[in-house]
Amino acid sequence: MSTTRVEALFPVADRVSHYNYAIRNIVAEARPLEAAGRRIRYLNVGDPVAFGFQPPAHMVAAVEQALRDGHHGYGPSVGIASAREAVARELSTRGFPTSPERVVVSAGTSEAIDLALSALVNAGDEVLVPMPTYSLYTAVLSRLDVHARFYRTDEANGWMPDLDHLRSLITPATRVLVVIDPNNPTGAIYTPAIRRRLLELAIEHHLVVLADEVYGDLGYDGPVPPIGSLMPDAPVISCSSLSKGYLAPGWRTGWLAISRHHQLDPVLAAIQKLADGRLCSTLPMQYAVAAALNGDRSHQASFRTALRARAELTARRLNAIDGITCVPPAAAFYAMPRVALPPGRTDADYVLGLLRATGVLTVYGSGFGTNPADGFLRIVFLAQPAELDEVCDAIAGFTRDYLNR
């Protein structure tokens, strides 16, 4: 039986073809080079542990203790009480009043986003998503048969959302406004005025704000307040996790918290119902949530200092290369430079050329939804500064050749 025949017999669902997770897909391009003996510098995935960062010891101790205490069974589908209490206290202390009953513990921010969107939208509804975007949104919305409407964030304005464009996309079918702040892939932190306008627009048009705040602890000037703290009565669902600020992405442990807006009570009930269906998130790791949020956080101050130094180095070195511009990031560990591509070239052509010539693996901007001709790419700058210097040397040499070809 031919391969084509097998594919026809067992067709893959259309929704899969609507989405690409470029951050991981691009690794397939690097593997053959690595097998042939090339050194590959994987600057594609935002995983601090891959670059030597580790979660604080008291978080590891809490998980060890949970394992020793025999917490191997299913837990409550909404999460254990200590984790929900810690999340509610954390957010309330930071100005976003919520309560443990309005918190659901999840398998990372990813599952929190999935649960919230699944509870909020019907097939054919519309969701406003920032462009460039984090690929998960395209994947989840495609699975739900929901239209993602991409609102521009403007490189020329420090990657702030273009509010006029956003407003022009709102229709009677719009249900949710996704806000990723601090942002992946741009590293931007939105100004309080923009954050307030986003909330006002949501209130005016009866939208729920799905606030992806997974980088909230990683502003270089200190933690960024949750957007819900600006208007505690706005309809906001805040999502975050232990993945970034607590350096444990492999633990797949996060949460969502719903604002006190009483009109969101049915949404909370729907999320809890969906959470029942997947039983619970990994139980031993949930014991680290209270340890993380109530315990010593000095690791975050040193992580932020390390990130600021790497961000400054990366932006300075990239901006010194003829043909490249880069908005300096204000948070997290990503930079989104732009290469002035010659006509007819694409961002993927540049990124694959860079990989083959230098072993530096980045992600083309079109993997986050930007126009391939615009020449964006995303670089993860978690490597040691000396290695980042080498990477920037390699990018400078390659770009000179590429643009003069």
Ligand X SMILES: Cc1ncc(COP(=O)(O)O)c(C=O)c1O
Q: Which residue is nearest to ligand X (CB)?
A: 108
Contacting ligand X (CB under 6 A), which of 41, 62, 105, 109? 109
Q: From the CB of 214, what's the least distance to ligand X, in Å?
A: 5
The answer to whether residues 302 and 312 touch, using CB atoms and an 8 Å cutoff, is: no
Rule CB under 6 A: say whether 249 interacts with ligand X.
yes
Residue 241 within binding range of ligand X, rule CB under 6 A: yes
180 binds ligand X (CB under 6 A): yes
Nearer to ligand X, 180 or 199 (CB): 180
- Selected range binding ligand X among 86-94, 103-111, 201-209, 387-395, rule: CB under 6 A: 103-111
Under rule CB under 6 A, residue 286 binds ligand X: no
Q: How far is it, in rounded angstroms, from Cα 206 to Cα 209?
A: 10
Calpha distance 285→282 (Å, rounded): 6
Q: Is residue 330 part of the contact set for ligand X (CB under 6 A)?
A: no
23-35 core/surface letters (b: 16 or more CB in 10 A; e: else): beebeebbeeeee
Residue choice 78, 86, 90, 110 for contact with ligand X (CB under 6 A)? 110
Q: Which two tokens stand for residue 160?
A: 């702030």
**Secondary structure class of 121 (helix, strand, coil):** coil
Question: CB of 70: closest distance to ligand X in angstroms?
Answer: 27
Find the shortest distance in angstroms from Cβ 340 to ligand X. Answer: 27
Residue 285 vs 324, nearer CB to ligand X:
285
Alpha-carbon distance 168 to 154, whole Å?
15
If binding is defined by CB under 6 A, does position 130 make contact with ligand X?
Answer: no
Q: Is 134 in the site for ligand X (CB under 6 A)?
A: yes
Per CB under 6 A, 186 contacts ligand X: no
Site residues for ligand X, 21-50, by CB under 6 A, read 46
Cβ atoms of 16 and 361 within 8 Å: the answer is no
3-state DSSP helix/strand/coil % of the chain, to nearest 5: 50, 15, 35
Asked if residues 388 and 155 have their Cβ atoms less than 8 Å apart, the reply is no
**Are 129 and 149 within 8 A, CB to CB?**
yes
- Select the span of 148-156, 241-249, 274-282, 311-319 touching ligand X (CB under 6 A): 241-249
Query: How far apart, in whole angstroms, are the C-alpha atoms of residue 203 and residue 266?
Result: 17
138 interacts with ligand X by CB under 6 A: no
Q: Is 135 in the site for ligand X (CB under 6 A)?
A: no
Binding of ligand X at residue 133 (CB under 6 A)?
no
* Choice between 44 and 110, CB closer to ligand X: 110
Question: Is 355:395 a contact under the CB 8 Å cutoff?
Answer: no
Give residue for tokens 């939804």: 369
Pairing between β-strand 103-106 and β-strand 126-131 as defined by DSSP bridges: unpaired
Give the binding site for ligand X (CB under 6 A). 46, 108-110, 134, 136, 180, 184, 212, 214, 241, 243, 249, 254
